Chains A and B, each alone.
Chain A
Amino acid sequence: NAGVTQTPKFRVLKTGQSMTLLCAQDMNHEYMYWYRQDPGMGLRLIHYSVGEGTTAKGEVPDGYNVSRLKKQNFLLGLESAAPSQTSVYFCASSQPSFRGNTEAFFGQGTRLTVV
């Protein structure tokens, strides 16, 4: 059972280059998220999706775009990478719950360095 899989695990980009991070989940979850983790700041939400074909902005969306064309995949794009986007990126998924107690399942993270 793979859970949430992120591709790639590591990447080095030059300033101005573009790239796409892929997240795939095999748990049939409705909700998916992209977070970034920076030292001393915890995880911050970039974008999220509450279902196939839907996306919404999180706390720090600038410089990123997302797409959810298929329920199991959530793509995070950087059109023109900047050094400030050097971070560890986590994808997560969860299932709706009326009690709100649904845990989020996280991928292994992608370490991105922009030079």
Chain B
Amino acid sequence: AQKITQTQPGMFVQEKEAVTLDCTYDTSDPSYGLFWYKQPSSGEMIFLIYQGSYDQQNATEGRYSLNFQKARKSANLVISASQLGDSAMYFCAMSGSSNTGKLIFGQGTTLQVKP
């Protein structure tokens, strides 16, 4: 069975500093995808970044990068130069090889950016 674990319920970071949100996963599928979503206090789910299990390079999208360590089964999100608007809940999620797009989500990490 697939499982996603986010061990940090809450995190604080100073504005303009970088922060790493942890995500570990477990799966027996040889092919899978890893996603990060942001959920601000308004409640919507915003897609941030994707990493495929066969991708050779770590994914990057603007200030977001994914530190993918396949052997350790970790897919940590790095946010550089934090902004006040980054304060939100962040979810790590995984899709499997069934190609149905179903996602397994972690419990989430609440990030607060301090001015």
Contact = CB atoms under 8 A, between A and B. Distances in A.
Interface of A: 31, 33, 35, 40-45, 48, 50, 56, 58, 88, 90, 92, 94, 96-106, 108-109
Contacts of A102: 101
Contacts of A31: 100-101
B26 to A, nearest CB: 15
Contacts of A48: 100-102
A31 B31 CA distance: 19
A43 B89 CA distance: 12
Contacts of B99: 96-98, 100
Interface of B: 4, 6, 9, 31-33, 35, 37, 43-45, 47, 50, 52, 91, 93, 95, 97, 99-108
B43 A88 contact: yes
A103 B47 contact: yes
Nearest to B39: A37
B45 A40 contact: no
Given A100-B32, A100-B33, A101-B33, A50 B50 contact: no
B106 A42 contact: yes
Contacts of B52: 99-101
